[in-house]
């Protein structure tokens, strides 16, 4: 039982490049979310999903796309990386609507130069 697995752990991109951050969970959780963490700003919700085939925008969705074709996977795509997207990205999953608390992955540290 691996919990929430994020890959890669570190990534450096050039401005304008695209990439996909991977997130997989093996707990059969319905709810999954992506957050970004910036110094002094806590965690901000990018996109979330309440089940396979269903996604919605969070607080800071611009520049990011998501899809949820399976219960297990919830990849986050950066379409054209910008320096403002330099951050630590966390994927999280939960059985229910977050009331029991999300389980977080260990994060992906992304630097855009």
Binding site for another protein (CB under 8 A): 4, 31, 33, 35, 40-45, 48, 50, 58-60, 90, 92, 94, 97-107
User: Between residues 11 and 104, which has the closer beta carbon with respect to another protein?
Assistant: 104
Judged by DSSP in three states, 5 sits in: strand
The span from the CA of 55 to the CA of 59, in Å, is 13
Min separation Cβ 16 and another protein, Å: 27
Min separation Cβ 88 and another protein, Å: 9
Min separation Cβ 102 and another protein, Å: 7
Is the preceding omega at residue 8 within 30 degrees of 0, hence cis?
yes
User: Between residues 13 and 23, which has the closer beta carbon with respect to another protein?
Assistant: 23
28 within 8 A of 93, measured Cβ to Cβ: no
The span from the CA of 51 to the CA of 37, in Å, is 24
User: Between residues 36 and 112, which has the closer beta carbon with respect to another protein?
Assistant: 36
User: Between residues 106 and 111, which has the closer beta carbon with respect to another protein?
Assistant: 106
Min separation Cβ 90 and another protein, Å: 5
């Amino acid at each position: 039982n691996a919990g929430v697995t994020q890959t890669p752990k570190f990534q450096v991109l050039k401005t304008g490049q695209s990439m996909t951050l991977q997130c997989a969970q093996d707990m059969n959780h319905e709810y999954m979310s992506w957050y970004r963490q910036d110094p002094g700003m806590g965690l901000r919700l990018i996109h979330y999903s309440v089940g396979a085939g269903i996604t919605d925008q969070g607080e800071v969705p611009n520049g990011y796309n998501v899809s949820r074709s399976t219960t297990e996977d919830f990849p986050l795509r950066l379409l054209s990386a910008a320096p403002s997207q330099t951050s630590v990205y966390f994927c999280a999953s939960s059985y229910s609507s977050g009331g029991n608390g999300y389980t977080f992955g260990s994060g992906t540290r992304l630097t855009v130069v």
